[in-house]
């Protein structure tokens, strides 16, 4: 092909791409108009939630099931998440609380779930996120609940016992940690700041490469980077988004001990989600301290063939050696089998049961 012929072909293909882009914009505009109409109908209905995670899950699952490439599922998911989020803000402006400052992993997870169109409210700690949601000052909050390798975020679990919020969605986020510092080499680093969970997820790397550095826990990875930014000999473990926001050099990338590192976040609000066909239900329960108490709490689920994907014990902080049990069940609280099992637990003498919410199962991408 001659240079002139190549140029003509490129111009033809670019014109075709421009035409497709114009079609996409028109279709997105049409989708936005339909979403706005949905919002008006919901507003007339009074108490219908604008954000319905089960509906979003159905849309995403349907789109990914029909994806034959060449765009990956993860890329297509990201594109439609932004479109859905932008349309949702036309139904109702959303405010979302997260652990601040900007660019923490909680912020990244919130942006993944709600897109760029929501108003994001940075909070100093998890208690403040729950306060914002419980009081109605924000529509939703996002909190981490467990890491695939380090286990539960216990402070989050403890807050669910007494707070009046509901879980309506979960977000799975691949976590990659990076060493941010203005030091030119590792032997110049004397202290490493980060959140406790991030330090734990990089424990082996830190012992191997920075055995003499002091480790200090901060309230968030982004706050750690802000602390280390102008301190000689200091480094922080944080996200690439934080490095970009603060203009901090990344000395070493991907220092997490497990590169398939995933943290699960929960979206909390004033309601949970309707059934989507593939759901989880989160509960917290307890019974008097006696032999077989935990067995009795779990038996109604075994009898009905309901699987538990997680169970975790936490002290009640009311009496010594008294515990509550957090569990995630397969199924929705409105499913007949799940509803029967929950009622059987409630009927047990002196038992305690709190349903934290039902929500669609998130798929790792």
Residues with catalytic function: 263, 265
Distances 160 to 3, 28, 83, 166, 222 between C-alpha atoms, Å: 66, 38, 31, 9, 25
Number of H helices, E strands in the chain: 12, 15
φ/ψ of residue 120, rounded to 5: -105, 135
Helix axes 293-303, 336-346, angle to 10 degrees: 160
Distances 128 to 124, 138, 150, 304, 352 between C-alpha atoms, Å: 7, 11, 24, 38, 26
Q: Give CA–CA dist 87/34, Å, rounded.
A: 9
Residues linked to residue 174 through DSSP beta bridges, in sequence order: 262
Q: Measuring CA to CA, which residue among 123, 81, 124, 118 is closest to residue 96?
A: 118
Q: Measuring CA to CA, which residue among 49, 81, 21, 19 is closest to residue 362?
A: 81
Q: Measuring CA to CA, which residue among 35, 112, 29 is closest to residue 77?
A: 112
Interior/surface letters 158-192, b for 16+ CB within 10 angstroms, e for the rest: bbbbeeebbbbbbbbbbbebbbbbbbeeeeebebb
Q: Give CA–CA dist 118/84, Å, rounded.
A: 11
Q: SS3 for 253?
A: coil
Q: What is the dihedral of CA 341, 345, 347, 350, to 10 degrees?
A: 180
Q: Measuring CA to CA, which residue among 100, 90, 104, 13 is closest to residue 51?
A: 90
φ/ψ of residue 104, rounded to 5: -65, 165
- Chain-centre distance for alpha carbon 272: 15
Classify 205 in phi/psi space as left (phi over 0), alpha (psi -120 to 50) or beta: alpha
């Amino acid at each position: 092909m001659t240079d002139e012929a190549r140029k003509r072909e490129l111009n033809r293909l670019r014109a075709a791409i421009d035409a497709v882009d114009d079609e996409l914009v028109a279709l997105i505009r049409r989708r936005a108009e339909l979403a706005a109409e949905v919002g008006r109908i919901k507003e007339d209905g009074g108490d219908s939630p604008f954000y319905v995670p089960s509906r979003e899950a159905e849309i995403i699952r349907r789109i990914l099931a029909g994806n034959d490439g060449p765009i990956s599922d993860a890329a297509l998911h990201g594109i439609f998440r932004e479109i859905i989020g932008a349309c949702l803000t036309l139904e109702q402006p959303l405010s979302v609380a997260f652990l601040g400052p900007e660019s923490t992993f909680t912020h990244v997870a919130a942006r993944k779930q709600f897109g760029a169109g929501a108003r994001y409210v940075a909070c100093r700690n998890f208690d403040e996120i729950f306060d914002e949601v419980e009081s109605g000052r924000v529509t939703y909050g996002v909190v981490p609940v467990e890491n695939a390798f380090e286990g539960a975020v216990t402070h989050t679990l403890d807050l669910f016992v007494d707070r009046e919020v509901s879980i309506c969605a979960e977000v799975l986020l691949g976590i990659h940690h990076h060493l941010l510092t203005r030091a030119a080499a590792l032997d110049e680093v004397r202290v490493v700041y980060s959140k406790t969970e991030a330090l734990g997820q990089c424990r082996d790397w830190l012992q191997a490469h920075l055995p003499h550095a002091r480790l200090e826990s901060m309230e968030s990875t982004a706050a750690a980077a802000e602390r280390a930014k102008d301190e000689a000999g200091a480094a922080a473990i944080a996200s690439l988004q934080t490095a970009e926001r603060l203009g901090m050099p990344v000395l070493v990338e991907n220092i997490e001990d497990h590169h398939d590192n995933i943290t699960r976040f929960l979206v909390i609000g004033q309601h949970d989600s309707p059934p989507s066909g593939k759901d989880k239900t989160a509960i917290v329960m307890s019974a008097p301290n006696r032999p077989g108490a935990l067995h009795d709490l779990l038996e109604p689920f075994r009898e009905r063939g309901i699987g538990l994907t997680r169970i975790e014990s936490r002290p009640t902080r009311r009496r010594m050696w008294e515990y509550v049990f957090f569990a995630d069940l397969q199924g929705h609280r409105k499913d007949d089998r799940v509803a029967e099992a929950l009622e059987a637990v409630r009927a047990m003498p002196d038992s305690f049961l709190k349903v934290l919410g039902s929500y669609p199962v998130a798929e790792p991408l």
